[in-house]
Amino acid sequence: MRTPIRAVTPESSTAEIAGWVHEIRDLGGLVFLLIRDRTGIIQVTIPKKKASPLVLEAVREVSRESVVRVTGTVKAIEKAPGGRELVPESIEIISQSASPMPLDVVEKVPAELDTRLDSRFLDARRPRVAAVFQIRSTVIRAVSEFLHARGFINITTPKVVAAATEGGTELFPIAYFDREAFLNQSPQLYKQMLMAAGFEKVFEIGPIFRAEEHNTTKHLNEATSIDVEVSFADHLEVMALLEELVIHCYSTVAESCSDQLAQMEISGFEVPKAPFPRLPYAKAIEIAAAKSGEKIAYGDDIGTVAEKAIGEEMGSHYFIVDWPTLIKPYYAMPSEADPKVSNAFDLMHPRMELASGSQRIHQHNLLVHQIRSKGLSAESFEFYLTPFRYGMPPHSGWGLGAERLVMTMLGLQNIREAVLFPRDRHRLVP
């Protein structure tokens, strides 16, 4: 059984490690191999005069990024990575790596993002890149544990559907036997239907698909959405839940991922503080006009330039609230005080939108009216509308983008860095 590299200590007498040859340094009388596995890097030191012929033969043949197994004696040495080295008794080349490689895993030669994504299996060997996905895994685990601890039920909804969640044309059509179907853009309709089933509190972490022809640093055509729906709750209650969840994710990363943050050279990792400011939509477009010069008519959406200007003004996580009903989806509940304003919200990071949510309409007739007011056919949504005839509780919820959460948390420059195999307008492989 191999020993994980992190578990090898100077107090060990012998160890057997297996991993990739990260770097080879031949200094004449000494050869150093840096061996890497998912837990870290260890230095293997080969004194040429003392090493066995089989060890020396393996050292001559091995290439960088080959997979090897090394057995030897562990010694403490201050200058070596981790304060220890392995003097080998045997080196076995398990899998020889071809040379030259498509990119430099040691990162001495920088590579463009497209080159990195073309050879993602190599790119992900880089400790700095691997750290991103170790942190992402921690975030997803933190979300699940947080919601389970609060009595939520984990659900799985269909990804092949007959109708669009919010109408529109930004859908990927597929041939489903003798009918047309679509890849789902959101679990929205199904998680609402489960409120009628009496589940009360549900969540899903799963893929969503949007056929938007974007080519930006913050959009994907396949993304991971963290979705929540809660019965007998209004929009303010699920906003508080979302705020608490985001803070919990940051806190968990701060507590559990110090090595990964150091690998990414992130110092001073800050956990956001509650409460996040609540910024009314009307005030938000005023800030945008004042700071960017971009005037937004009341009832228009907030674009990238305005979003950036508002984010610079706010400086930390915040909510935009009191959105005009006309620009929010048909299922967003209009305010009782002013039906022109909806009980909807967006969670914003200074760089971009992270989540969107609302109190939902639970009255059948009002929901039909809102669907038709958006120019959609209520008949196309009959499977969704039927549960609203048989006792639908009031409910609220939101959807949070996992990649955007990780991207903004770690200061990544491109959302594609937060997903292993991104799907965008131009990329379908690997």
| pLDDT for res 332 | 98
240 and 180 co-located in one domain: yes
Residue 114 in any domain: the answer is: no
Instruction: Provide the domain count of the chain.
Output: 2
| pLDDT for res 293 | 85
| pLDDT for res 165 | 65
88 and 161 co-located in one domain: no
83 and 181 co-located in one domain: no
Residue 300 in any domain: the answer is: no
334 and 208 co-located in one domain: yes
86 and 145 co-located in one domain: no
Q: Dihedral (C-alpha) 334, 336, 340, 341: value to the nearest 10 degrees? A: -70
Residue 32 in any domain: the answer is: yes
Element (H, E) at 222: strand 222-231
145 and 237 co-located in one domain: yes
Surface-to-core class of residue 181, CB atoms within 10 Å of its CB (0-12 exposed, 13-18 middle, 19+ buried): middle
157 and 19 co-located in one domain: no
Q: Which of 95, 111, 142 is the last residue of a domain?
A: 95
340 and 203 co-located in one domain: yes
| pLDDT for res 13 | 87
| pLDDT for res 1 | 73
Characterise 204 by phi-psi region: left (phi > 0), alpha (psi -120 to 50), beta (else): beta
Element (H, E) at 242: helix 235-256
Domain that includes residue 47, residue range: 5-95
Judged by DSSP in three states, 413 sits in coil
Residue 308 in any domain: the answer is: no
What residues contact 18, with CB distance under 8 A and at least 6 apart? 2, 37, 67, 68, 69, 70, 94
45 and 126 co-located in one domain: no
Mean pLDDT (10-residue bins), the chain, 430 residues: 88 92 94 95 96 96 97 93 94 97 89 96 96 98 98 97 71 93 94 98 97 91 98 98 98 97 94 98 96 90 94 98 97 97 98 98 97 92 96 98 98 98 95
48 and 126 co-located in one domain: no
- Cα separations in angstroms, 260 against 76, 130, 157, 334, 410: 24, 8, 33, 44, 11
- CATH number, domain of 157, equals 3.30.930.10
- CATH number, domain of 61, equals 2.40.50.140
Residue 358 in any domain: the answer is: yes
Residue 112 in any domain: the answer is: no
33 and 134 co-located in one domain: no
Residue 117 in any domain: the answer is: no
161 and 68 co-located in one domain: no
What residues contact 312, with CB distance under 8 A and at least 6 apart? 291, 350
Residue 157 in any domain: the answer is: yes
